[in-house]
Amino acid sequence: MSSVIEQTSEIYGIANWGADYFGVNRKGNLIVYSPENENLTADVKEIIDDLRKRGIGTPVLLRFPQLLFGQIRKLQTAFRKSIKEFEYDGGHLCVFPMKVNQNRAVIEEYLKEGSRYNFGLEAGSKAELYAALAMDQAKDSLLVLNGFKDRDFVRLAFAGAGAGKNVVIVIEKMSELEHTLNLVQEVTAENPEASLPTLGVRVKLYSKGSGKWEKSGGEAAKFGLTTTEILDVIGRLQDAGRIELLRLLHFHIGSQLTDIKRIKNAMKEAARTYAKIRQMGVPIEYLDVGGGMAVDYDGSRTSFESSANYNAREFANDVIYVIKTVCEDENVPHPTIIQESGRYLSAYHAILVTNIQDEIETVVEDRTPMKMQKDDPQVVRELYDLRETINGKNYREYYHDALEHREELFTMFDLGLISLEDKGKGEVLFWDVCEKADQYAQQKKYVSEEFDDLRRLMCAKYLANFSVFRSVPDNWALEQLFPIVPIHKLNKKPTEFATLCDITCDSDGIVDKFVDLHDVKPVLELQKLSPDEPYYLAIMLVGAYQEVMGNNHNLFGAPHEAHIHIGEDGYIIKKVINGETLADVLETVRFDANQLHDQFRRQVMKRIKEGEISTKAGNSLIEFYENQAESYTYLSPNGTP
Q: Is 168 helix (H, G, I), strand (E, B) or coil?
A: strand
pLDDT higher than 80, residue 1: no
Nearest to 632, CA basis, from 585, 595, 591, 599: 585
Helix 312-330 / helix 260-279 crossing angle, nearest 10 deg: 30
Higher pLDDT residue, 120 or 262? 120
Nearest to 377, CA basis, from 320, 416, 351: 416
Mean pLDDT of 543-547: 95
Q: What is the pLDDT of residue 213?
A: 43
Q: What is the pLDDT of residue 201?
A: 96
Q: Is 223 helix (H, G, I), strand (E, B) or coil?
A: coil
Single pTM value for the model:
0.90
Q: Answer whether the bond into residue 59 is a cis peptide, omega within 30°.
A: yes
Residue 46, C-beta contacts closer than 8 angstroms, at least 6 positions apart: 29, 570, 571
Mean pLDDT of 386-409: 93
CA dist 217 and 251 (Å) reads 8
User: What region does 620 belong to: left with phi over 0, alpha with psi -120 to 50, or beta?
Assistant: alpha
Mean pLDDT of 143-150: 94
pLDDT higher than 60, residue 50: yes
Residue ranges of the domains in the chain?
1-62+351-362+462-562, 66-350, 378-456, 586-630
CA dist 641 and 636 (Å) reads 8
| C-alpha 50: how far from chain center | 25
pLDDT higher than 90, residue 377: yes
CA dist 290 and 204 (Å) reads 12
Q: Is 532 helix (H, G, I), strand (E, B) or coil?
A: coil
pLDDT digit string (tens) for 129-140? 999 999 999 999
Task: Using pLDDT thresholds of 50, 70 and 90, give the confidence band for residue 299.
Answer: very high
In this structure, whether the domain defined by 66-350 belongs to CATH 3.20.20.10 is answered with yes
CA dist 145 and 155 (Å) reads 12
Q: What is the pLDDT of residue 641?
A: 39
Nearest to 13, CA basis, from 426, 589, 586, 515: 515
Q: Is 164 helix (H, G, I), strand (E, B) or coil?
A: coil
CA dist 383 and 369 (Å) reads 16
CA dist 21 and 225 (Å) reads 40
Task: Using pLDDT thresholds of 50, 70 and 90, give the confidence band for residue 581.
Answer: very high
CA dist 634 and 353 (Å) reads 13
DSSP class of 355: E
User: What region does 299 belong to: left with phi over 0, alpha with psi -120 to 50, or beta?
Assistant: left
CA dist 205 and 221 (Å) reads 9
DSSP class of 633: S
Q: Is 307 helix (H, G, I), strand (E, B) or coil?
A: coil
Q: What is the mean pLDDT of the chain?
A: 92
Residues 330 and 279: beta-carbon distance below 8 Å: yes
Q: Is 452 helix (H, G, I), strand (E, B) or coil?
A: helix
Q: Give 23's strand partners.
A: 31
In this structure, whether the domain defined by 1-62+351-362+462-562 belongs to CATH 2.30.30.90 is answered with no
Residues 176 and 159: beta-carbon distance below 8 Å: no
What backbone phi and psi angles, to 5 degrees, belong to 169? -90, 115
CA dist 85 and 313 (Å) reads 11
As assigned by CATH, the class of the 378-456 domain is mainly alpha
CA dist 323 and 268 (Å) reads 7
Contacts 24+ apart (CB under 8 A), 66-69: 66/34, 66/35, 66/36, 66/349, 66/565, 66/566, 67/21, 67/32, 67/35, 67/348, 67/349, 68/106, 68/109, 68/110, 68/113, 68/345, 68/346, 68/348, 68/349, 68/543, 69/35, 69/109, 69/113
pLDDT higher than 80, residue 221: no
